[in-house]
Amino acid sequence: MSKCYDDSEYKRRRRRNDEEERPRRKRDREEEHDDADVVQDGVQKSFIDQESDELVWIKDSCNVEVQSTDTQAAVSLQVGLQLAIALVVSITIGDSDEGQSVAQELFQQFDTEQTNKQKIFVENSKDVTITTTDTDLSVNIQALLQVLVALVVKLDVL
Amino acid sequence: MSDSSKNPKILSDKVIDLLVSTTLQKNGVNIDKAKKQLSDEQKKMFKELVEDLSKQVDAFVKKPPVNKKESK
C-alpha cells in the first residue's frame, strides 16, 4: 500500500517538477540554438565526406606489380588547397561575414559525399601489372587547384 | 576507365572563372579594393604557394606515388 502511495506521490512530484522545468528548458533550448547559429558558420566551411576502400588480393601468382593511389597524400593535398583558398580569401576580402561566405560557397561547389570502393583479385597469374586510380580524389584536387588559380589570377597575383 | 586523369584540366577554365566571379559578385566583393589588401611580399608568397601546389597536383595526377612490387 505504502508503495502505491509513494508511486503516486513520486509521479505528482515529477509532474510538478516537469511543469516548473519546461519553461526553463525551452529557454535553454533557445539559447543553445542561438549559440549553434554562431558556431555553424565556421564549421560548415569545408565539409567533404570521402571514403576510399581498396583491396588487392594476390594468390598463387608471381611477378605481380601493383601501383595504387596514395589516398593519404591526396587528402593532405586537398586540405592544403582548401587552406590556400581560405587564406587568399581571408587576406583579400577579410575575415568578415562576406569573406567567410565567399570561401564557404567556393568549397560548397565540391560539397559531395564520395565513396570509392575497389576490389581486385589476382589468382594463378604471372607477370601482371595493376594500376588503380582514385578518380574522385583526383578530380576534386584538380578542381580545387583550378579554383585557387582562378582566384589568384583575379587578384593579379599570377 | 576514362583517360580524364591524364588531362590536368578537369573542368573548363571558363566554368571555374564563372564560379569564382559569380561568388565574388554575389557577396558584393570589390575586386580592386581586394587587390590593394595584398602587399608585394604577400603576392610573391602566394605565387610560390600556388606554383608549389600546382606541381604537387600535377605529380599526383600524372603518376601515382606508391609503387609496390609483390612476388609470391
Instruction: Let me know if residue B11 belongs to a domain.
Output: yes
Instruction: Let me know if residue B34 belongs to a domain.
Output: yes
Instruction: Let me know if residue B39 belongs to a domain.
Output: yes
pLDDT in tens, A34-50: 555 544 444 444 455 56
Of A58, A59, A157, the CB nearest to B43: A157
Q: Is A79 on the interface with B (CB under 8 A)?
A: no
Per-residue pLDDT at A23 exceeds 70: no
Instruction: Let me know if residue B27 belongs to a domain.
Output: yes
**Of A40, A39, A45, A37, whose CA–CA distance to A102 is shortest?**
A45
What are the Cα distances from residue A118, in Å, to A40, A53, A121, A134, B18?
Answer: 35, 6, 10, 9, 35
Q: How many domains does chain B have?
A: 1
Q: Could you tell me if the ipTM is greater than 0.90?
A: no
Q: Which domain holds residue B44?
A: 3-62
Q: What is the pLDDT of residue A124?
A: 93
Please, which pLDDT band fits residue B2 given cuts at 50, 70 and 90? very low
Q: Is A139 on the interface with B (CB under 8 A)?
A: yes
Q: What is the pLDDT of residue A40?
A: 44
Q: What is the pLDDT of residue A128?
A: 92
pLDDT in tens, A63-72: 998 887 777 7
pLDDT in tens, A101-141: 787 777 766 655 567 778 889 999 999 998 887 777 788 88
**A143–B50: do the CB atoms touch at under 8 Å?**
no
B-facing residues of A in 83-102 (CB < 8 A) are: 84, 88, 91-94, 98, 101-102
| A21 vs A56: CA distance, rounded Å | 58
**B46–A66: do the CB atoms touch at under 8 Å?**
no
